[in-house]
A and B are shown apart, each in its own frame.
Chain A
Amino acid sequence: MLKISDVKTYYGNIQALKGINVEIAQGEIITLIGANGAGKTTTLMSVSGIVPPRSGDIFFEGNPITGLKPHEIVELGICQVPEGRHIFPYLTVLENLDMGAFLRKDADGVRQDRDYVFSLFPILANRRHQAGGTLSGGEQQMLAISRALMARPRLLLMDEPSLGLAPLIVRQIFGIIKKINEESRTTIFLVEQNANLALKIAHRGYVMENGRITQTDTAADLLNNEDVRKAYLGV
């Protein structure tokens, strides 16, 4: 479904991605783990077209998307829940959700999906008229995920959804990520530092170091891999 082929991405003169290859099949949850500064966020931003690669190619369902504008990439069905949530602070919860459905024309479907995300995260329904910026961190993360779901994505990119959240909420959110994948068959590309949890819900995983992919395997095998356990699981 998504193929990242020898992608190199730069910030000015700094090279953040040094030729990475990733493949994701329809219906999978793939996780990308790695230390701070490894280039995980840059990978997602390259796919979304926010930081376009300098060389290499990205294919979505067989078609090249390298060089497309971010909004054109969203139009194809690739949505992102960015690192740090990026909630529109002065829009209400409802308005934030509407922004997620910005490109959709089917008002009925949008209404159904709104009810669906409220059923996933009932707390958001209670806060619907509250400004996004006044929500707690956990609520903002729920809103960020819900906003992305409002677009009915075919591929959902998620950047560290567990960042800064209490363990209980993290488990709740990971449960919902799994549920989204199973119920709507949404393909998920999950970037995480919480490698333990991520590898438990993912099918396969990639390990990234210094802008390079150093390992890839099934999630189960990565969980048992000695190097990975030492470096990312803290055991």
Chain B
Amino acid sequence: MNYFLEIFLGGLTRGSIYALIALGYTMVYGIIELINFAHGEIYMIGAFTALIVASVLTLLGFNTLSVFILALVLAVIYSCCYAFTMEKIAYKPLRQAPRLSALISAIGMSLFLQNYVLLAQTSDFLPFPRLIPDFDFMEPYAHIITTQEAVILITTAIFMTILTIFIKFTRMGKAMRATSQDKVMAALTGIDVNRVISFTFIVGAAAAAVGGVLIASHIGMINFYIGFIAGIKAFVAAVLGGIGSIPGAVLGSFVLGWTESFCTGYVSSDYEDVFAFLFLVLILIFRPAGILGRSESNKV
């Protein structure tokens, strides 16, 4: 039973990270129907920023908690700046162009950012410090869930709750929903559509950066390629749940996380990706728009 629980929680943790990244894919798709291939790179840049900030602050003698918080906050800010600039440079000029052009621009952006980090850093895996200390009171449960995993779960839950409330009740949240349903009409009601789009990229980047920092600290090493791998998985999760839908992205992420972790736990980690993609194909055969996807174009 404990083993089952451990695997269940492990899957939930993975799912949380996928969900934090998948949010960016699904929200951006919901607003401008673009698969932002460079989104995974934002997550990777978040992790690298945290690594640099954490290294410097540790040298300067800051304590663990303040290192964690500062690294997280700066990673979020830096990633958001990247996403904001990326949208303005690579996507906004192509807003009226055929879909394929924007998609190719996104792939170009992804390769550019990977290679830029590869040159600026190195292709080797770099050790990532443990930003989240093991709390003593967690000790009795350590065989089921580690402090790291608990922090990941709680942070994700908080982030999702705030986001849900934000989208439901705030002015910007309503503007995002309206824009995702009908861009022309949104503009005709006085919404600054460009601002909504920028804002969507920023929220997605913030979520991805949080995910990047948490998982890097959990796994303990990063390189320039982690964004690509995690990005693909999160993208699969978003499609699984129904791309464009936020609850869908979260649900798809948990389904993917559990599929992988149960496969690793009961079969073999070698087959984890095989099962994950098999599952994706099966779900899409029966529900082509994803688990919670709507066949037309509503999203947020």
Contacts and interface: CB of A to CB of B under 8 A. Distances in A.
Interface of A: 48-50, 69-71, 74-75, 79-80, 82, 86-91, 95, 98-100, 102-103, 147, 151
B171 to A, nearest CB: 8
A98 B193 CA distance: 17
Contact of B181 (A74, A89, A98, A102): A89
B298 interface: yes
B103 to A, nearest CB: 21
Interface of B is mostly: helix
B185 interface: yes
B139 interface: no
A86 B182 contact: yes
B175 interface: yes
B188 A86 contact: yes
B181 A71 contact: no
A91 B177 CA distance: 8
A54 to B, nearest CB: 14
Contacts of B171: 102
Interface string B164-192: 00000001001101100110111111111
Interface of B: 171, 174-175, 177-178, 181-182, 184-194, 296, 298
B181 A91 contact: yes
Given A98-B174, A99-B174, A102-B175, A48 B181 contact: no
A209 to B, nearest CB: 26
Contact of B188 (A80, A87, A89, A90): A80
Given A88-B181, A98-B174, A71 B193 contact: yes
Nearest to A51: B184
Contacts of A49: 187
Given A88-B181, A89-B181, A95 B174 contact: yes
Nearest to B187: A70
Contacts of B188: 48, 50, 70, 74, 79-80, 82, 86
B187 A90 contact: no
Given A89-B298, A91-B177, A91-B178, A99 B184 contact: no
User: Which residue of A49, A86, A98, A103 has the most chain B CB atoms within 10 A of its CB atom?
Assistant: A86
A71 B169 CA distance: 21
Contacts of B192: 69, 71
A77 to B, nearest CB: 10
B189 A147 contact: yes
A113 B174 CA distance: 20
Contact of B191 (A71, A80, A89): A71
Closest 8 CB pairs of A and B: A74-B190, A70-B187, A86-B185, A103-B190, A90-B298, A88-B181, A71-B192, A71-B190
A204 B65 CA distance: 72
Contacts of A71: 187, 190-193
A82 B189 contact: no
